[in-house]
Copies of this chain bind each other. A is one copy, B any other.
Amino acid sequence: MSDLIQPRTLKGFRDYLPNTMMAREQLVETARRVYRSYGFSPIDTPALEYAEILTGKGGDESDKQLYRFTDHGGRDVAMRFDLTVPLARFAAQYSQQLGTPFKRYHIATVWRGENTQKGRYREFMQCDFDTIGTESNAADIEALLVIHDLMEAIGVAFSNGDLGFGIRVNNRLVLNGLLEKQGLQEQSVGVLRSLDKLPKIGREKVIAEMTEHVGATAEQANSVIDLAELTGETGDVLNSLETMLSGSEVGQLGVARLRELFSACLTAGIPSERIGLDLSIARGLDYYTGTIYETFLTDMPNIGSVCSGGRYDNLAGLFTNEKLPGIGASLGLDRLLAALELMEKVQTASTPAEIFIPQFDADRLGEYLKLARELRAEGFTVEVYPEAKPLKKQLKYCDKKGHRVAIIAGGNEFKAGVWQVKNLQVRGEQSDVSGANLAEHLRSLLR
């Protein structure tokens, strides 16, 4: 039997074992519930598309990450590397049929053949929501509420309360206003890329980069960083900005939109400590044109933003002449999952079943199965062991899996109409419970 194939996965790919997968499902379910509660509708698109669709006209860095090949029909195809390009294609194809504004979420796997490094995989899930077809600031404000309520719901799901997070907001119009006033529009991409490095490399190195490589004067570079580093009470900072950007129409519009955003979020009930203006975030990507968001975990700022996004002017210019502005954000599912594991917020159980019923008496299999079905109808999750092995062996199994309660019944219990209920969370705690009281007793142990 030397002919066996070695069971293994490809480099950069991973299997999800039950306890990690249960945590991933809980994250996905939470995101889906929050997105739906705001009226975002689910869509899905194929994993494989024409390579032309995914690469657009461009062809540099991102091409190399593509899993691209020729299919049986001779077509040049590739696996999607994000959910934004498929959304652009989708929006161009159906916007007439679906109408705008169009609010969608999309939770799906993407693939990038990039070099693997610490915790980065070649296959991972994205978890995006977007509102397309409106320039209204109400959609920007709503996106911030969605991020807030999502992070709060994840805290409730994994931490019985507050996970500890802050959302940082900026508006590219403010930065554009400053660049305009400083005559730096032409160098804006370089300036913003450098600015993004501020938290990592510090003021002096950013200034050096801007003056040596981007073509700004020291004075210009300093003024950009002065603005980025403005801190204080949000209202005060916005007032200072208004003065600094006097004469710049885009700059003033940016300030006005930020002002409305903070005001409406507070009215809508977001605690002020959870949202902050941070003029240093620029999100280097070229396509952001307005509000931008980043979200940090209070206890783990170094893992970076776990939910980011922003406003863009023109989603689907590659595919249609219809101008489709929009706003959205993406939950960094795998990054957050890794953080939750580090914070020990992921449960260790590897079964979704709370209750374990051993087969104490093989002749009563039908009755054990009946009891389990009755408890499922009451909303419990219940596993019946498939073999009538010695009780000790069966209890060893459930100890390994992490069930929380065991219900044991043999001939005596069936005769007396009572069940022996073991609370597996507290060593030695067990009681005899009559059938009529069973569901209530279990609720008291489990809820």
Contact = CB atoms under 8 A, between A and B. Distances in A.
Given A21-B43, A104-B18, A138 B384 contact: yes
Contact of A98 (B14, B269, B316, B350): B350
B18 A366 contact: no
A16 B38 contact: no
Interface of A: 1, 3-11, 13-18, 21-22, 24-25, 32, 36-50, 52-53, 56-57, 64, 67, 69-73, 75, 77, 79, 89-90, 92-94, 98-99, 101, 103-104, 109, 111, 113, 123, 131, 134, 136, 138-139, 141-142, 145, 149, 260, 263-269, 316, 318-321, 350-353, 356, 359, 365-367, 369-370, 372-374, 376, 380-387, 397, 400
A-B pairs, top 5 by smallest CB distance, nearest first, are A39-B383, A267-B366, A39-B353, A69-B69, A18-B41
A372 B142 CA distance: 11
B57 A111 contact: no
Given A149-B373, A373-B145, A321 B1 contact: yes
Contacts of A16: 42-45
A21 B48 contact: no
Given A56-B5, A139-B386, A14 B46 contact: yes
A263 B370 CA distance: 12
Given A42-B21, A321-B1, A72 B142 contact: no
B15 A93 contact: yes
Given A40-B352, A41-B351, A138-B369, 10 more contacts: A5-B318, A9-B46, A36-B352, A38-B383, A64-B72, A71-B113, A101-B397, A134-B387, A266-B366, A267-B369
B7 A92 contact: yes
A220 B387 CA distance: 38
Nearest to A362: B138
Contacts of A268: 366, 369-370, 372-373
Interface of A is mostly: mixed
A125 B43 CA distance: 14
7 contacts: A18-B98, A21-B42, A21-B43, A39-B351, A64-B72, A138-B384, A260-B365
Given A41-B352, A99-B400, A386 B123 contact: no
Nearest to A371: B268
A175 B193 CA distance: 71
B18 A350 contact: no
Given A38-B382, A39-B353, A39-B382, A111 B47 contact: yes
A65 to B, nearest CB: 9
Given A365-B264, A369-B142, A386-B131, A93 B46 contact: no
